Amino acid sequence: MDEGSFSDDYLSDLCVSIREVRRMLLITGAGISADSGLPTYRGVSGLYEDRNTVDGIPIEVALSGGMFSRQPRVTWKYLLEIANACSGKTWNRGHQVMVDLENLIPEVWILTQNIDGFHLDAGSSNVIEIHGSMRRLRCTECSFQISTSDYQLPFGFDENARLPDCPDCSSMIRPDVTLFDEMLPVPAVEELQDQLAIGFDGIIIVGTSAVFPYIAQPVYQAAQQGQVTVEINPAETQLSSVVQWKIEKSATEGLEQIASCFHRDSK
């Protein structure tokens, strides 16, 4: 494997520390899914970077809880763009490396901002989907829920005619994702809090700019406590100067670098 700009001592020190980790938290963002051919979305998987939607509003507004309440057709329009972008895509080698790490480290947890479901598809055991999943649909009024296999609505949706409705109560259904200005899902938050309370001795943050406090804070805390912290990202982020090790590679390449630590001789 090409070790890029790493010096041998730098990589050896990283590997020694990684091999000592007993509870690892992997925090993932859009970068891991980019290797599956998905765009590196902004926020909750918008297809726009620094420009407005075709409706002349920021994607954060189109994909907000407030907009969904006022004009659900607008929000559904852009949710469908996300679904279409995900359709036909699947997990990649980076996701598989995370599964492999479960056989190399006593306990591994994944905190993901991604809503594509790829971590679970790849076979990871302990996944916290903090922003929900496009694979799950739920009614806005009753307890009806359903899972889809390829991001397709089972009841159809004509953007110009009607909104998707619940087969049980005829109310509107929606993907089980966290829109802008909505609260995070309580079960996911509670699971994250429980696992952080137990503690991790190693955190690797992969392919995210970590703009949300609940994503960045575990890394800050781990760094302050002297725990193993690694960032995998070709770009500089607010965490690049905080972590012990920075791997300036794509998500898959960086994860392969981590996995290689278990096949290197000890320093």
Alpha carbon of residue 14 to chain centroid? 24
Residue 131 annotated in active site:
yes
Q: Hey, is 23 helix, strand or coil?
A: strand
With beta carbons less than 8 A apart as the criterion, state whether 228 and 201 touch.
yes
CA nearest neighbour of 259 among 117, 61, 93, 37: 93
Per-residue CA distances from 76 to 56, 89, 138, 163, 243 (Å):
16, 21, 14, 8, 38
Q: What is the rounded CA–CA span in Å between residue 52 and residue 42?
A: 12
Q: What is the rounded CA–CA span in Å between residue 81 and residue 219?
A: 32
Dump strand ranges (E) for 101-207: 107-112, 127-129, 132-139, 145-147, 173-177, 202-206
CA nearest neighbour of 185 among 176, 196, 198: 176
Per-residue CA distances from 152 to 40, 83, 89, 121, 163 (Å):
21, 7, 13, 16, 14
Tokens of 55: 């409706």
Query: Which residue reads 């852009």 in tokens?
Result: 78
With beta carbons less than 8 A apart as the criterion, state whether 203 and 25 touch.
yes
Q: Cite the active site residues.
A: 131
